[in-house]
Amino acid sequence: MQGFLNLNKPAGWTSHDCVGKLRRAFNTRQIGHGGTLDPDATGVLPIAVGRATRFLQFLSGGKAYRATFVLGQTSTTDDASGEITARHPVPHLQREDVRAVLPQFIGTIAQIPPVYSAIRKQGKRLYELARAGATAESLALEPRRVEIYRIECLAWRAGEYAEIDLDIECGTGTYIRAIARDLGQTLGCGGLMSQLHRTQSGPFHDRDSIPLDTLLESANPDQFLSPIAFAFRDWQAISLDPDSARRWCCGQKLLHPDPDNPNPMKVMQGDRFLGLAQLQDGLLKPLRVLASQG
C-alpha cells in the first residue's frame, strides 16, 4: 500500500493529528504530510502513504488559498485564534482603498514570519519562545523572501471592522496571516486573518480532496490513494529500456542525450514509475529511486 492522498483537512485538527488518525486507518506508521496547515485552517493537505513518503520533499511548492482578513484588529498570532492586541475601527475604509495597495504584496516580497510559527530559532520552535513571552522584536526575526503570484479580491464587507475575502496563489514558505498583518500595517489600521482554506497544493486540488471523516469511516481507505507518479504528472519524463532501468535503479548514472537540461525528471520504464532524477555533468543521477530491480 503506497501512494498519495488528497486530504481535505477539517478545522480544529493539527496536520499531525490527521497523520495520527490516518496511521491507524491505514495500519502503518509510514505516513507523512506535505505542508503544514494551522489547526483552524481547512483544505488540501497532501498525505504520503508507504514509500510515497520518500518523495514528499519533491512535491511542487505552489499553493493557493481562499482567505478572509479582518481589518482594524491585530492579534498575538496574526489570526483570530490569538489574543486581540489592538482595535482601530475602520467604518470609512472602502474596498478600493484596499485594492489600491494589494499590488505591493504581489511578486517576490520580504516577509517576517509570525512569531507563532513552527520555524526554529535558538534551537526551539518560534511558538515555544512566544509562549514563554518572546516577541517578534525581542527575537529580531529576519525577513524571508517569498513569492506571491496572484491576489484577487472576491468579496468586501464594510463595517466597523471591515472584512475582505481573497484568493491568493503563492510559493512555499508563505504565511497568509502575515499578509493580513502587513496589509493592515500598510493601511494604518491593523489586520488579522479570520479564515483560511487551502484550495491547491502542487498537483492536489480542493475539488478532488477527500474529507477526513470519509477516510476514517471507510473499510477500504486505500481506494482513495493516487499512484506516486500522479504527483509528478507534469514533470518531464525519460523512458528507459529494461537494462538501463535495472542499472539506474541500482544507483548507476546513465548518459543523457540532453546534457544541458537543468530540470529534474521522472524516470519511467514504459508505464512503470521508477523514481526521480536530475542531470549532473551529462549523466542521469538518481534523486529518489522507488525500488531496485533484480
Hey, which residues are catalytic here? 38
CB-CB contact of 101 with 183 (8 Å): yes
DSSP 185-234: HHHTS-EEEEEEEEEEETTEEGGG-EEHHHHHH-S-GGGGPBPGGGGGTT
Please provide residue 37's backbone torsions phi and psi, each rounded to the nearest 5 degrees.
-110, 140
With cell 489592538, the residue in question is: 86
Beta-bridge partners for 198: 43, 65
**Distance between CA atoms of residues 265 and 125, nearest Å:** 34
Sequence letter at residue 151: I
**Distance between CA atoms of residues 70 and 73, nearest Å:** 7
Q: How far apart are the first and last CA of the chain?
A: 21
CB-CB contact of 222 with 210 (8 Å): no
Sequence letter at residue 42: T
| List of residues 6+ apart from 93 with CB closer than 8 A | 71, 72, 158, 162, 187, 189
Nearest to 55 by CA among 294, 277, 292, 284: 277
**Distance between CA atoms of residues 227 and 142, nearest Å:** 39
